Structure 1
Amino acid sequence: MPLSRVVCRYWGDQYPSQEMKTWLAQGLNIEIISRHSYDGQPDDSWMAYTYPGLTCIEDWKGNHRSLQSTIDFLQRHPLLKRIELDPAHIFENAPWGVAFANRMHPYSCKIGRPPATVFKVDEEWLYKSIRVSFQDDIPHGGVEIVETMVRKMGTMLPQSSSSPWVTAGIDFLSPVGEYMTSEDLIGILTRNSSHVTNLQFGKFLCDILAREYTQIVEPGFAIDAGFRSFRERLMQAMPMLDGVELYCQGF
């Protein structure tokens, strides 16, 4: 049987052995490559090869060499649709990292853990799963700026049926929780994130809920009570939403 008709569903070696190089040259298909534990050192020699049939890469810290070499690798693998990024991923050497920074300009943000996942939609790499902590100082009362940030982030998330499960996490270094209301936030998300199926929130939402509910319930229960109400209202406003999570320690 020709090797072009043989599929290796999962390959996890550090780099191809001589035998594997021969098989690849003869057309062996590899569906998934795992880079778990192998990208800690700047050895990108595995990227010099072409892996027919490649559709997914797992635990990829990225390319230590250059953006162009990453682009070259992606162009040689047109079937590659999904990449799960290691928490230490080198975003500046990846087209999705450069695109995200350009799309978010002039705002700066940090992509947090757990690792993001990118998904190719119509030749564009978008984030199927991402947690973002916005780093900029926002003037007191700057709800419109917050909405602009969320809207920009939303353009980097897939909105088509080809990626039905999209997770987005949002937090702010600036103390927006001191003045923003939960209704402000629900309105922003409804207008700009209706395609997201799972939303995660950092410390800023805890600040909002503590401020709004401390006068209603005992202080020790304010955030829990507030989050139950917020989650119910948000899921009513966003029917596609499947889950809402809160992380008071941030991302």
Structure 2
Amino acid sequence: MKTLLIPFDFSKASENALKYSVEFAMHEKPILKIYLLHLIDEHTNEDDAHKKLKSIINEYDKPEYPKIEPLVKRGRLTTLALALRQELQIDLVIVGTRGTEVFRKDMTSNTSKFIREVDMPVLVIPEKSQGFNLRNIVLTTGEEKIPDRNVLFTLLEIARRFNAKVNLLTIGRDKKMMGDSEYDEFNEKTIEYFLEMFYSHHTFIANEDIVEGINQYLEKQHIDMLAIMPKTHLAKDKASQGKLTNILTIYSEKPLLILD
């Protein structure tokens, strides 16, 4: 992991995401490079936008801080993020969210829409999440088989960088049947293999409401980051439609890593 992309709109949520990203980038060597992306429309002066963005970056102009490069672009965030991933070798997008302040009847937010559209790892930092600590991560999976094991590499890099332990959490309807199915065994062995020494243990919780089950676990455990693999929660990849991601993006008070 070498580069981070931070969509930035000068809101408190994006400022909080930038602070988190700086801590994330400088915690261990090699220090990661950060690209700060600000989108403008056809009526906005590009030079003025650059100056405003540079004033934010200057606050982090210290030898111990990571290098932050400003990017001012016109266009859709998803399209630009995918193009920049190839051009700048972006490893992870870190985006801020206002959580319940963006709640609407359709249970969507700009952040969750972006996550559904972009095909890359995204770390969501809720505005309510303050400070930085990354020692305990919980990865939640559903009852479906992990469709793409390669998405676990991002989680491994994060765990390795911060020497963090990863607990596996499976939410299902019937606890008696959990742990014995072909998929449970496959998922656990896959995660244990990929995460090496950073894998800790596997917990099963019976609950038809996935979000309620996750919150039930988080209330009892000290967790610094929640990671989800949406496609393991519903059959035939229906989770990729975004229902689970939408809800967690809106309501989670923990940093949320989307591996989809």
* Greater RCO (Cα-Cα under 8 Å, separation 6 or more): 2
Rg larger in 1 or in 2? 1
Structure with greater helix percent: 2
